[in-house]
Structure 1
Amino acid sequence: MTPEDIRTATGPVDLIYRAGAAGAVCWARDYRGHVRELPMARWIGGPHASHRDRLADGHVLRHCTARPTLDLGCGPGRFTASLRERGWAALGVDASRAAVDLTRDRGGTAIHADLFAPLPAEGCWEQILLTDGNIGIGGDPVRILRRAVELLAPGGIVVAEVDPVTTAACREVLRWETEHHVGQWFPWSRVNAAALGDLASTAGLLVSSIVDFDHRVIAVLRMATPAGRSG
């Protein structure tokens, strides 16, 4: 596959999202042809999730407060909806219209937007969520962490999920697929726990805590200094 193939390939990404939410098997394929199943049950959450995933998700939610939370790459909205159920301010953001619709269907508030475009209440969010590896969105973890710093209120935190140290950190080009649909190619990065500290530091953040729930690694990041906002 050539770089031109990667740039021009298109597909029904939202159809894949909806198919996965309805129970279809979905997977990610890299440009070398390697595939791995997408964890749709985890992304949907609730009774679909495993015991391990419920523990890890509960740890994420324990770091959230009644103050506003922004869920970047919210997917079908399990965190956004859970926070709204508590009566807390939470907003999901996703580039997939289907993901936004699924979030709204379960009672969450979400907008369809590019994470790097202007977003509501920039600089006022107490918690930024980058779960399910979303620190890798766009293939540039430092860029998305710097974006999180722009969005954070003073004293706010980023709750990020990364890979365990046994998983190699790498940059990938992926697409989602089902038996009937093929999505677009997009850049992605896998960040492991060992690499997180340096990436966070470059973005003006410090790793405050990190916990491994059977290979789901949840980290809490805080701004290193007020100057970290300048990125």
Structure 2
Amino acid sequence: MSTTVPAAPPHPPVWGADAYAEALHRGRGPLYLRRTDGWLLPLDVERWCAAADAADLAALGRCEGTVLDIGCGPGRLVAALTDQGRRVLGIDVSPVAVARTAASGGAALCRSVFDSLPDEGSWGTALLLDGNIGIGGDPGALLARTATLLHPAGLLIVETAPADVDERARVSVAGDPYACHRTADPFPWARVGTPALLRYADAAGWTPVERWTATGRQSQSPSAARCFVALRRRRSLPTARRG
């Protein structure tokens, strides 16, 4: 039985407006996603603006062929892959993030994943790390779109939330957790743990080929472990290379 995946908004907002841009300029937070009911999700700007850590490198070591980093932010993953001699392109809707990626020596475009992109259908690996499975607020639509970007045998690496969560909400970016006024227009976002991702992936025609956890910079605490899943489109199921 076929599954109809709703289309993502054709013109997503420029993510993060002033608060995000200011945090990237500083290289640190505080920065939050604020839900419309006031709930806050802290964003790890310091890690994003630093060099790739051990958890990042464990994911990057699994990449195959050319790499598309979806929601590249300030470009630490693009820079790390470029240093490894890989052909990699980052995309992000934030001009400041794209500028930081370029300044680090990486290639990046200021575009949404739902825009027309170079080399559609031929990328070897796509990355959705740092919560970027939430882009557009519809994981099923994002997974369906990503399938059109990869080579039929390509690999998709997704970072999931450490909790068993499946949430869609409208959020805005805020630098001040106590500010009562709205700092930016809300936009759709999603958070999914591994069980929810696997459900969305199955409906969108993906099969998991590897799952792992890894800890990153200056942390050996199990609670700080990051969770990853490697997926391939169902019609092509070679085993993901292990690092």
1:5 equivalent in structure 2: none
Q: Which residue, 18, 23, 26 being the options, matches 1:20?
A: 23
Q: How much identity, in percent, do the aligned residues show?
A: 34
Q: Distance in 2 between matches of 1:167 and 1:191?
A: 7
1:219 equivalent in structure 2: 229
Paired letter, 1:223: R
After superposition, residues 1-231 of structure 1 pair within 5 angstroms as: 13-21=16-24, 22=26, 23-46=28-51, 54-65=53-64, 67-164=65-162, 166-179=163-176, 182-213=183-214, 214-225=224-235
Q: Is the 8 A contact 1:133 1:162 kept in 2?
A: yes
Letter in 2 for 1:172: A
What is the CA distance between 1:197 and its match in structure 2? 1.6
Residues 185-217 of structure 1, C-alpha deviations (whole Å, 9 max, x = no match)? 111111111112221111111011111234411
**Pair 1:91–1:12, CA change in 2 (3 A):** closer
* Higher share of residues assigned helix: 1
- Asked if the contact 1:77–1:108 (Cα under 8 Å) also holds between the matched residues in 2, the reply is yes
User: Which stretch has the larger CA shift, 143-152 or 55-64?
Assistant: 55-64
SS at match of 1:19: helix
In structure 1, what residue type is equivalent to 2:133? I
Is residue 91–residue 109 contact of structure 2 (8 Å, CA) maintained in 1?
A: yes
- Taking the aligned partners of 1:147 and 1:12, their CA distance within structure 2 comes to 19
Distance (Å, rounded) in 1 between the aligned partners of 2:103 and 2:83: 13
Residue ranges of structure 2 left out of the alignment (5+ in a row): 1-12, 215-223, 237-243
Root-mean-square deviation (CA, aligned residues, Å) is: 2.0
Instruction: Report how far residue 154 of structure 1 moved.
Output: 2.3
5+ unaligned residues in a row in structure 1: which ranges?
Answer: 1-9, 227-231
Show CA shifts across 1:43-76 (max 9, x none). 1232xx7xxxx221011111124x2100111111
SS at match of 2:136: coil
Aligned residues: 209
Q: Equivalent residue of 2:105, what SS?
A: coil
TM (normalized to structure 1)? 0.84
